Every structure is written in structure tokens, then in C-alpha cells.
């Protein structure tokens, strides 16, 4: 189920489409959850959170907590050379 939730299909309005191939959304899975980093649109995190919340209503067994944070972040490579995010905006999350 975590794999399924790690691929959100957030449908933004036409003027708010994320360019996923250009890095508009970065998915960072971790032990018991994930962080979604939206780099192009300020409204995208709230719209995506609403859509995920609506989809989760059909799965009462899924315990879900969503938080939205903002702040400066930088894209870095982790020790395995995978894309990651560092900075105050992600450290709070």
C-alpha cells in the first residue's frame, strides 16, 4: 500500500500541471512514510493533500497524517547517489 501511495496521481488544474519529468515533484520515501517535494507550484501541495485525503477515505484501515511545510531546500545526492532534499524546509517536516 505504501508503494501505491508513493505514486500520487494529483490532478492539478490545467494551469497548474506539474512537469514531473523536469523534476516538478520529488518523492522521498522513508521508513514509515514519505515526503513529496513540490518545486514548481505553491498551490500543488495543498491540492495534492486534499486529493490524497479524499482517496484515503475509501481505506479506513490506512492511518494517514498529512503535513504541509514550506521553507528553503536544496537538491542533494545521498550516500547512495540518489536525489534527496536538504534544508530548513525539509528538516521541519
Let me know if residue 77 belongs to a domain.
Answer: yes
Let me know if residue 5 belongs to a domain.
Answer: no
**Parent domain of 59:** 30-93
pLDDT in tens, 59-73: 888 888 888 888 888
Let me know if residue 12 belongs to a domain.
Answer: no
pTM for this predicted structure: 0.65
Let me know if residue 13 belongs to a domain.
Answer: no
Let me know if residue 15 belongs to a domain.
Answer: no
pLDDT in tens, 16-57: 444 544 557 888 887 878 888 887 778 888 888 888 888 888
Per the listing, cell 528553503 goes with: 72
Let me know if residue 23 belongs to a domain.
Answer: no
Cell of 68: 504541509
Contact 29, 78 (CB under 8 A): no
Let me know if residue 64 belongs to a domain.
Answer: yes
- Domains contained in the chain, number: 1
Amino acid at each position: 500500500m505504501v508503494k501505491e501511495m508513493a505514486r500520487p496521481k494529483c490532478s492539478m488544474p490545467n494551469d497548474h500541471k506539474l512537469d514531473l519529468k523536469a523534476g516538478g515533484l520529488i518523492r522521498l520515501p522513508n521508513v514509515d512514510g514519505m515526503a513529496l517535494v513540490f518545486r514548481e507550484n505553491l498551490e500543488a501541495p495543498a491540492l495534492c493533500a486534499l486529493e490524497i485525503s479524499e482517496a484515503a477515505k475509501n481505506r479506513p484501515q490506512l492511518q494517514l497524517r498529512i503535513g504541509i511545510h514550506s521553507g528553503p531546500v536544496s537538491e542533494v545526492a545521498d550516500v547512495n547517489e540518489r536525489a534527496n532534499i536538504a534544508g530548513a524546509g525539509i528538516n521541519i517536516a
